[in-house]
């Protein structure tokens, strides 16, 4: 069999990561990709050791490569905390790689559940997918913060050509405290809005957006206003033609409505809301292992990844030589998403077809009752069999071969 060729001038940016997902990464490549494709990738190792060794330059380089080539696939990575500092004897508590990459690319993260027969959502009314669009720039992810000691006073100071504006945040007269400064930019909010309106038109689904504008009358309200202005100026007619709706409400009302809905819409969330709500929606749709994620930059770069982390608990078992049953589907779909997008951009139909077949093979495997532990407890199929991490990928490969021959 002839392997599928890719354009060596347009490599996929391959961003490797940590722990169990790093183990899965290699398995996916060895079992399901390199036997079929002459993979052209530009490889960036974002494993924590390498980030420490390069003073995190490798993360910046991987984001710039994504800008340059337009399509990347990323493995989950550790965001170091105090415990990781010790575990890996790090020089510094490096920032979240995803945060760094998002800050460089700007853009919006879209998260969609992979729906399979037999895994019913925990919310019985949910019949259709809920896709979350997470703003990927600013707010607490670009925050500046510090501890304040008793007797100090915190002020907000804005300086510019017209002098200075000063606001008292809090006078810490008789107690210690904490303080945080956050920002966003009109440009980033506008590109977030455009990305959401366009994606809703692509999917032909309603778009919901929510903030806490009643409490945050400047910060949150600006998000609301920018969305509204852009909608009225550019999308109102297109939405009406497509028979879809733009709906704005308060975030707490949105959460209540989501729980009562039957799904089938794009839910645009501010950065923090999107972080939290996508985990809730993913869990309610089944498993974090079934949630895909793609960062779309305003310049048109795509970075595909799984929504879950490095699955540390499973990795420690793996290190002890114990068997693991870790779900590789979201990581696999990150690869298929990226290969398909590369194929679209390069008019490489064979590559697109391969990516679609690989997705079909993975879904068929689960729907035939063969699945990892996280799904076994959820599946309503009468006959199901739990397989380990590697066995699952071999089962997918057996089905993939059928499609290809
Ligand atoms: P996690 O890796 O997503 O795992 C949390 C738990 O969810 C796991 O222990 C497991 O539950 C379940 N789970 C998640 N993905 C699964 C999969 N593919 N298959 C089966 N079960 C799965 O989150 P975490 O433990 O909070 O974080 C671990 C590390 O990942 C941290 O260092 C964090 O910084 C990093 N992280 C990275 C990203 C990213 O790169 N995008 C995102 C989030 C977190 P059971 O143990 O009950 O089986
Ligand atoms: Mg999160």
The atom of ligand 1 lying closest to the CA of 311 is 2
Instruction: Give me the pLDDT at residue 57, please.
Output: 98
**Ligand 2 centroid – CA 307 distance (Å):** 8
Predicted confidence at residue 184, as pLDDT, reads: 97
Among 58-62, 100-104, 214-218, 257-261, the least confident range: 100-104
Which atom of ligand 1 is nearest the CA belonging to 308? 3
Nearest CA to ligand 1 atom 10: 311
User: Of the candidates 275, 231, 34, which has an alpha carbon nearest to the alpha carbon of residue 136?
Assistant: 275
pLDDT over 90, % of the chain: 85
- Report the alpha-carbon distance of residue 55 to residue 321 in Å, rounded: 32
Ligand nearest to the CA of 373: 1
Ligand minimally distant from the alpha carbon of residue 305 = 1
Question: What dihedral do alpha carbons 97, 100, 103, 105 form, nearest 10°?
Answer: -70
pLDDT of residue 109: 87
List residues near ligand 1 (CB under 6 A): 76-79, 98, 288-289, 305, 308-313, 326-327, 374
Digit-coded pLDDT (tens) for 361-386: 999 999 999 999 999 988 999 999 99
DSSP conformational letter for 379 = B
Give nearest CA residue, ligand 1 atom 31. 78
**What residues are paired with 179 via a beta bridge?**
146
Among the bound ligands, the one closest to the CA of 15: 1
Report the range of poorest mean pLDDT among 18-22, 102-106, 304-308, 333-337.
Answer: 102-106
Q: Beta strands 108-113 and 130-135: pairing type?
A: antiparallel
**Cα(312) to centroid(ligand 1), Å:** 6
Strands (E) across 55-143 are located at 71-74, 108-113, 130-135
Question: Is it the case that residue 405 has pLDDT exceeding 80?
Answer: no
CA of 252 to the centre of ligand 1 (A): 27
Give pLDDT tens digits for 74-97. Answer: 999 999 999 999 999 999 999 999
What is the distance in A from the centroid of ligand 1 to the CA of 113?
16
Q: Name the DSSP class of 70.
A: S
End-to-end CA distance of the chain: 9
- Backbone angle region of 204, left / alpha / beta, with phi > 0 → left and psi within -120 to 50 → alpha: left
Q: What is the mean pLDDT of residues 274-298?
A: 87
Closest approach atom of ligand 1 to CA 84: 32
Q: What is the DSSP letter of 368?
A: T
Residue 352 has pLDDT above 80, yes or no: yes
User: At 203, is the pLDDT very low, low, confident or very high (cuts 50, 70, 90)?
Assistant: confident
What is the 304 CA–ligand 2 centroid distance (Å)? 15
Predicted confidence (pLDDT) at residue 137 exceeds the cutoff of 90? no
Give the pLDDT band (50/70/90) at residue 199: confident
pTM of the model: 0.85
Please give the pLDDT value at position 263: 94
Measuring from atom 36 of ligand 1, which residue has the nearest CA?
309
**Residue 258 pLDDT > 90:** yes
Percent of the chain clearing pLDDT 70 (strictly above): 100
Give me the pLDDT at residue 178, please.
98
Whole-number Å distance between alpha carbons of 375 and 366: 9
Q: What is the CA radius of gyration of the chain?
A: 22
Between 297 and 158, residue with greater pLDDT: 158
Phi, psi of 234 (to 5 degrees): -125, -20
Residues with Cβ within 8 Å of residue 3, at least 6 apart in sequence:
35, 36, 37, 38
Residue 218, classified by CB atoms within 10 Å of its CB into exposed (0-12), middle (13-18) or buried (19+), is exposed
Three-class secondary structure of residue 108 per DSSP: strand
What is the pLDDT, as a whole number, of residue 102? Answer: 86
What is the predicted pLDDT for the residue at 298? 78
Q: Which residue's alpha carbon is at the smallest distance from atom 40 of ligand 1?
A: 76
Say whether 125 sits in a helix, a strand or coil: coil
Of 2, 1, 6, the C-alpha closest to 335 is 6
The average pLDDT across 239-251 equals 98
- Ligand 1 closest atom vs CA 77: 40
Distance 308 CA to ligand 1 centre (A): 5
Ligand 1 atom showing the smallest separation from residue 74 Cα? 40
Find the DSSP H helices in 155-185: none
pLDDT score of 391 = 98
The 10 Å CB-count burial string (b at 16+, else e) for 352-374 is bebbebbbebbbbbbebebbbbb
Question: For the residues 135-150, what does the mean pLDDT come to?
Answer: 93
Q: Is the pLDDT reported for residue 285 higher than 80?
A: yes
pLDDT at 377: 87
pLDDT tens string 23-65: 999 999 999 999 999 999 999 999 999 999 999 999 999 999 9
For ligand 1, atom 37: residue with the closest CA: 309
What is the spatial distance between Cα 115 and Cα 131, in angstroms, rounded to a whole number? 12
| Predicted local confidence at residue 336, as pLDDT | 98
Q: Of the ranges 177-186, 187-196, 225-234, 282-291, which one carries the lowest mean pLDDT score?
A: 282-291
pLDDT tens digits, residue range 2-15?
999 999 999 999 99
User: Ligand 2 centroid vs 132 CA: distance in angstroms?
Assistant: 13
Residue among 76, 308, 371 to mutate when testing ligand 1 (max atoms within 8 A of CB): 308
Closest ligand to C-alpha of residue 79 is: 1
Point out the ligand nearest to the CA of residue 21: 1
The SS3 call for residue 37 is strand
- How does residue 103 score in pLDDT terms, banded at 50, 70 and 90? confident
Q: What is the rounded CA–CA span in Å between residue 221 and residue 210? A: 10
Do β-strands 12-16 and 41-45 pair in parallel, antiparallel, or remain unpaired?
parallel
Q: Which range is least confidently modeled, 47-51, 112-116, 211-215, 263-267?
A: 112-116
- The whole-chain average pLDDT of the chain stands at 95
Model confidence at 226: pLDDT above 90: yes
**119 DSSP assignment:** B
Rounded to whole angstroms, the Cα distance separating 218 from 184 reads 12
Q: Where does the pLDDT of residue 300 fall: very low under 50, low under 70, confident under 90, or very high at 90 and above?
A: confident
- For ligand 2, the distance from its centroid to the CA atom of residue 289, given in whole angstroms, is 13
CA atoms within 13 A on the CB side of 142: 17
Nearest 5°: the CA angle 333, 313, 74 is 30
Cα three-residue angle 292-295-296, rounded to 5 degrees: 125
Instruction: Report whether pLDDT(179) > 80.
Output: yes
78 Cα–ligand 1 center, Å: 10
């Amino acid at each position: 069999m002839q392997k599928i060729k890719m354009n060596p001038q347009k490599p996929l940016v391959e961003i490797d990561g940590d722990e169990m997902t790093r183990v899965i990464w290699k398995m996916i490549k060895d079992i399901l990709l390199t036997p079929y494709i002459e993979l052209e990738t530009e490889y960036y190792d974002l494993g924590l050791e390498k980030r420490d060794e390069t003073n995190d330059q490798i993360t910046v380089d991987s984001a710039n490569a994504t800008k340059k080539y337009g399509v990347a696939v990323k493995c989950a990575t550790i965001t170091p905390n105090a415990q990781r500092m010790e575990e890996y004897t790090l020089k510094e508590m490096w920032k979240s790689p995803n945060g760094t990459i998002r800050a460089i690319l700007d853009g919006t993260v879209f998260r969609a559940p992979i729906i399979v027969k037999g895994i019913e959502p925990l919310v019985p009314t949910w019949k259709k997918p809920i896709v979350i669009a997470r703003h990927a720039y600013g707010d607490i992810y670009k925050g500046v913060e510090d501890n304040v000691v008793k007797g100090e006073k915190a002020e907000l100071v804005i300086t510019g050509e017209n002098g200075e504006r000063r606001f008292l945040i809090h006078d810490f007269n008789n107690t210690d405290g904490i303080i945080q400064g956050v920002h966003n930019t009109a440009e980033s909010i506008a590109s977030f809005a455009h990305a959401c309106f366009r994606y809703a038109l692509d999917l032909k689904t309603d778009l919901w957006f929510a903030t806490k504008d009643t409490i945050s009358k400047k910060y949150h309200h600006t998000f609301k206003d920018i969305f509204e202005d852009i909608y009225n100026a550019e999308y109102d007619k297109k939405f009406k033609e497509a028979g879809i709706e733009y709906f704005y409400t308060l975030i707490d009302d949105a959460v209540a409505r989501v729980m009562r809905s039957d799904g089938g819409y794009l839910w645009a969330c501010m950065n923090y809301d999107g972080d939290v709500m996508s985990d809730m929606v993913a869990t309610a749709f089944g498993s974090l292992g079934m949630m895909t994620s793609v960062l779309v930059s305003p310049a048109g770069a795509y970075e595909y990844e799984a929504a879950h982390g490095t699955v540390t608990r499973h990795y420690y078992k793996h290190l002890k030589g114990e068997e693991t049953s870790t779900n590789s589907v979201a990581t696999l779909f990150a690869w298929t998403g990226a290969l398909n997008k590369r194929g679209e951009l390069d008019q490489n139909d064979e590559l697109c077809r391969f990516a679609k077949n690989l997705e079909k093979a993975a879904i068929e495997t689960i729907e035939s009752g063969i699945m990892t532990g996280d799904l076994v407890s959820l599946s309503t199929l009468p006959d199901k069999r739990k397989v380990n991490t590697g066995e699952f990928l071999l089962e997918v490969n057996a089905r993939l071969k059928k499609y290809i021959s």
